[in-house]
Structure 1
Amino acid sequence: MKARKLWVSSAFALLVLLIGAAAGVMVTIVIAAPSAPPTLAEAERPEWLGVTTQPSDDPRKFDVVVQEGATVALRAPVTGLVTEMRCDQGQVWKSGESTVTIDGTRLLLLHTAIPLWRALTPGTKGADAVAVKGELARLGLAPSSGDALEWRDLDAARTLFAASGVSIDPESLNTDQVIWLPTPEVSPSNCAAVGTPMNAGDVLGETTPTVMVQLGDIPALQAGLRELLIDRVVIPLTDQLTPQDPSGLSAILSTPSYRSALGDGTGPVTLTATLRLVEPVNVVALPPSAVTLDPTSGACVATPSGTATVSVVSSALGQTLVLFTEQELPDRVRIDGPRQCV
């Protein structure tokens, strides 16, 4: 029966075409596809996005240059018996302090650009006099200007020595009271034991190999203390991005990355390191379209209550991580950011 109805319908359509053709009339049969049900229609783009936070330590990848320095001998300035030696593991010798006595006499640790090689008296000129004044200035003792040592500088040196229990000649700065340091701070090793007889010039100890780490160009970063990560070695940094403990840099020398990059060479080597926040911050991940960057007032987003200021932490992989500068977080933000930040 269905086949008969289909044959009749087809015959009727053919008949209409033939009649139309005979009458010179063009007939077009249009077969329309059924419309898609509402559930299959394209979903509308949402206007708002809910706000949720996630912790982020803002990791940044940087190239760092690592250079291992040479070991420097720390020498006794006088002949005598070592009667005190502070050289425990992890000990740091700092310029302006005293950690060694010979024959019961305290000696001052002093860093200068060049080792002191003669007694300095008021009026003495030369690179050694300038070096002493440079270290006095670094230690906050306000030396005189110029290239000659003055009474004012000798008074400042006397103050420095006295603070560590070291007495000096009132009219000169003598080399027999000073242990020269190649840097303002050193980590000593292989030190002479208490009771060891020393001649002037003998080795009291030596510095551990110094390691210099230089970061490449650093863009603006989210505020907060950071640390440097190389393989599994973590180096805490100051707010100036310098090592809090320079002696800790020696741990880099044992990392697989350093050994692999160094090979049979002597350095320096370039490594990839991660610079990250010590304390993670709570950030919100948003599509880039939700964040408006204003050259004068910074970045902002649109919220139900108006425009909110944000700080962009990072942007990658199709999302922008922002930190809300206001205490309370909005429950949602508009997917299309405001035209401008007010």
Structure 2
Amino acid sequence: MTAGTARRGARRAAWIGAGLAVALGGGLAVIAPGHAAPAEEDVARPRSTDTVARQTLQQRQALDGTLGYGRETTLAAAADGTVTWLPEVGAVLDRGQQVARVDDRPVVLLHGTMPLYRALEPGVRGPDVRQLKDNLAALGYPVSGDDRYTAATATSVRAWQKDLGRERTGVVQPGDVVVVPGPVRVAGHEAALGGAVPDDLVRVTGTEHVVTATLAAGDRDRVAVDGAVELGLPGGRTTTGTVTAVSAPVAPPAEEGAGGAPPEPEVTVTVRVDDPAVLDGLEHGDVEVRVVSGERADVLTVPVVALLALAEGGYGVEVVEADGSTRLVPVQLGMFASGRVEVTPEGGAALDEGDTVVVPS
């Protein structure tokens, strides 16, 4: 056995006996003491190696997320009467479609931001009139592009009412429509067929799959709108997503009978799946949302398993020279991430990108 081989065997034995704890891919692997030193025929085998790399390391925090269609809201109608029809759960409703029927008359979905609060009829004007006219134009009815409800507007409204099967009055009442910002998906019913119109008709969500997760408000700066995240899907699949919204902090409800300090406020993070095709028919499920919790840019890294515990304390790596000989380089450790660790050579030793280091076989 050569002197170099003997030194390597002694170093590996010292490493094993030291009980080195190293981070491996976010977990913690502990090399326990008490193993025998490698036999001569073992250490003489060809060495496994890896390369010193210069890269950006990122640590990620895993959040428990849920795949669905986002936060539910309710739709209300200012109509009086008996509920005679409701859309199916899961149906997507867009502009001009029915949200419900009351006394067998349709309550219609329009796009906008201002709920209808008054009757719209000839002689009135305002942003609610402009909103109605924008919807009529989008549905193919001729209107002028202003905020005045004119006789011509009433003519277009009567044509719309005829197509809906409603009485052609030329007047739009608050109970005739429900205003939402865009298409919605029916998540559930609040009203009951045959019952009086309640405060809310249906529960709705957005129409696209999203992932939602909660994060402690104190960690709010770890996510940003338009920021990228990794997603761990059911079945072990992974994909990427983009943060679309971060809510204001909200204190979660305290557990009944629980004492002590109140729960820490949380924010809700909403994530759009970048490639919806990867969901492959998934409607709902648990998703792991991995957000960056720390980053070190442009640093030298080695595989965590390349670290050696030095007899004098600290850690080092075994660098393979061009002629096959090795040298021990003491290093200071930095961030651990994804099975690699940031290293800085100490004591004037040289360690460069592209150097070869020994790793356990």
Fold conserved between structures, TM > 0.5 = no
Which has the greater radius of gyration? 1
TM-score norm. by structure 2 comes to 0.39
Q: Give the strand-richer structure, 1 or 2.
A: 2
